Structure formats: structure tokens, C-alpha cells
């Protein structure tokens, strides 16, 4: 549901407020609220959240994203890794998703800080899934403790220059996915596409083919929802039949696929992880 160009986020029971209070207590950000995710109430109600690290100001200005942006991000919070771990303990989480803003203003784009956050969370016993910027091989190596490595390609090749920051590119995203799988062949790798931005059916299939060629394991298809009136407008509303068609094509190519109007890259992440690992053990 949309209201004034923005997805409606409704509270969902006492667990929602427990998560909200813990996030506030430890001064933590989530992509759930920063990006106006339509699943915020459901996920918080299940005591899960996708934590947003490295501050809440992104150095890139993608036209589909509502996260604040600027030439320089906020000063890194030295207590963030410890605060994350404590929040994970209090919420009794056993699976955590971490994502971040882009930090082009930092020498390592924040990779060392990212690694510290992963490592502290791992001390709690939780598994960690990460959704990363277009990191170099050197930066990727620092993140070797994560179980799942994700990088969102976001859209088809033709639309990247129209909706993403000029520092992003289709090639960079494809190469990030390829490097992640080459470096960590035994880890699950993941990406997602937002549909409804003006892509054609042929372009979606071509993108799936390119993703498959990187060795990526998982592809998510979701409907682009205009977060606020400042972001690019929705071009097309994708019906469920089309989502099923794209998902079926990806699965024929050997990718695990999850698709739907409200689906986002971290939606049901824990369930997907354990389903794939279980299937591996059965092979």
C-alpha cells in the first residue's frame, strides 16, 4: 500500500516495539526504516532486522533510494560493532543481516569497520549475511567470516546510468559478484533486482544469464516501490504471473530464486540460507 508516494509501515505487535527500543538504546540504524522497507512491521514483529552500518549517510545518490546522501558520511561509531553484538544478544538472534551505506570518502570504503562488525556478531554465535558495496578483492577478503555475501545489481544494464549514482556500473556489480564467489567458493552469494523501473522481459533474462555466469547462488526479484516523492517514479507494476515467470527462468538456470511484490534482498534470508544448506547436505 502507498500513501503520498511512500510505503505504509504499520506496527505489528509488542515484538515490533521491543526491536525499536533496542535499536534506539544502542544507537543502531536499520535499512528497514531508512529505506522505508514495506516488510518492516513483519520482520520486526518476528524479531529480525537488517542492520545498516557505517552511518546513515551514503556517499552515493541513487535515484531509487531514500537513504540520506552527501559528499562525506558521518564519523564512524567506534562502539558500533560492540553495540550490534549486544543488540543481537538481547534480541536472541541466531541469524543477522548486515548492510551498509556506500563510503567512498573512506580509504577502504569502510571494509575494515564492516569486518569488525561481522566478527563481533559472530562471537554471539549468530550467523551473518552481508549486503556489500562494490568492494575490491582486497576489501572483500576482510569479510571472510560471513556465511552469505550479497551484492545487489539492482536493475538491468541499460537502466543503471539512469537510476544509480555515476560511480556505480553494471560491470562493477557483476565483477563484485564474480570476485565474491571466486574468493569464497563455499559460501553462498546473492543478488537482487528491483523490477518496475522500465526494464524489458528480454533485459531481465539477459541479466539473469549474466548473474548465473558469475557463479552466484541466489537471485531475488522484487517490485520497486517509490519510497518518497523525491525518488524516481514506478514505471510498471509487476503482476504475480510475471514474477513467477522470471523466477522460473532463474531456477532453470540453476539459481535459487525468490520473487514477489514485497520481496526484498534480505526478506526471509534465514529461511533461504537453511533451505539451501539442507539441500547441499542431501546431495
How much is the pLDDT for 103? 97
Confidence bin at 278 (pLDDT 50/70/90): confident
Contact 214, 208 (CB under 8 A): no
Q: Which three cell numbers stand for residue 184?
A: 569464497
Confidence bin at 38 (pLDDT 50/70/90): low
Helix (H, G, I), strand (E, B) or coil at 225: coil
Among 118-122, 170-174, 226-230, the least confident range: 226-230
Q: Which three cell numbers stand for residue 176?
A: 563484485
Confidence bin at 42 (pLDDT 50/70/90): low
| Cα separation, 206 vs 218, whole angstroms | 16
Contact 128, 118 (CB under 8 A): yes
Tens of pLDDT along 166-185? 999 999 999 999 999 999 99
Read off φ and ψ for residue 19, nearest 5 degrees.
Answer: -60, -45
Helix spans in 92-232 (H): 111-122, 137-141, 160-163, 170-183, 201-213
Q: Which three cell numbers stand for residue 154?
A: 539492482
Strand partners, 69: 58
Q: Give me the long-range contacts of 275-279 (CB less than 8 A, separation at least 24).
A: 276/188, 276/217, 276/218
Is the pLDDT at 130 greater than 70? The verdict is yes
- Domains of the chain as residue ranges with CATH: 2-282 (3.20.20.70)
How much is the pLDDT for 101? 95
Confidence bin at 227 (pLDDT 50/70/90): confident
Average pLDDT over every residue of 226-230: 90
- Mean pLDDT for the chain overall: 88
Tens of pLDDT along 194-219? 999 999 999 999 999 999 999 999 99
Confidence bin at 6 (pLDDT 50/70/90): very low
| Cα separation, 111 vs 103, whole angstroms | 9
Read off φ and ψ for residue 15, nearest 5 degrees.
Answer: -60, -35
Confidence bin at 151 (pLDDT 50/70/90): very high
| Cα separation, 208 vs 247, whole angstroms | 10
Is the pLDDT at 12 greater than 70? The verdict is no
Amino acid at each position: 500500500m502507498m500513501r503520498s508516494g511512500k510505503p505504509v509501515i504499520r506496527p505489528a505487535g509488542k515484538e515490533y516495539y521491543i526491536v525499536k527500543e533496542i535499536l534506539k538504546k544502542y544507537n543502531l540504524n536499520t535499512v528497514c526504516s531508512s529505506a522505508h522497507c514495506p516488510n518492516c512491521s513483519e520482520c520486526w514483529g518476528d524479531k529480525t532486522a537488517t542492520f545498516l552500518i557505517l552511518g546513515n549517510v551514503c556517499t552515493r545518490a541513487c535515484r531509487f533510494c531514500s537513504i540520506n546522501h552527501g559528499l562525506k558520511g558521518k564519523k564512524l561509531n567506534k562502539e558500533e560493532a560492540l553495540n550490534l553484538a549486544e543488540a543481537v544478544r538481547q534480541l536472541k538472534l541466531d541469524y543477522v543481516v548486515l548492510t551498509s551505506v556506500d563510503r567512498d570518502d573512506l580509504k577502504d570504503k569502510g571494509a575494515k569497520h564492516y569486518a569488525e562488525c561481522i566478527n563481533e556478531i559472530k562471537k554471539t554465535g549468530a550467523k551473518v549475511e552481508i549486503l556489500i558495496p562494490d568492494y575490491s578483492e582486497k576489501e572483500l577478503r576482510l569479510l571472510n567470516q560471513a556465511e552469505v555475501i550479497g551484492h545487489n545489481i539492482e536493475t538491468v544494464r541499460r537502466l543503471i546510468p539512469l537510476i544509480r549514482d555515476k560511480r556505480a556500473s553494471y560491470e562493477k556489480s557483476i565483477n563484485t559478484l564474480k570476485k565474491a564467489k571466486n574468493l569464497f567458493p563455499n559460501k553462498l552469494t546473492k543478488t537482487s533486482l528491483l523490477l518496475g523501473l522500465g526494464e524489458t522481459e528480454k533485459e531481465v533474462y539477459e541479466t539473469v544469464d549474466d548473474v548465473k555466469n558469475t557463479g552466484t547462488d541466489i537471485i531475488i526479484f522484487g517490485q520497486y516501490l517509490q519510497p518518497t516523492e523525491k525518488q524516481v517514479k514506478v514505471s510498471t507494476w509487476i503482476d504475480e504471473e510475471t514474477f513467477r515467470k522470471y523466477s522460473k527462468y532463474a531456477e532453470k538456470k540453476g539459481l535459487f530464486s525468490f520473487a514477489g511484490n514485497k520481496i526484498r534482498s534480505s526478506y526471509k534470508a534465514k529461511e533461504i540460507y537453511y533451505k539451501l544448506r539442507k539441500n547441499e547436505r542431501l546431495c
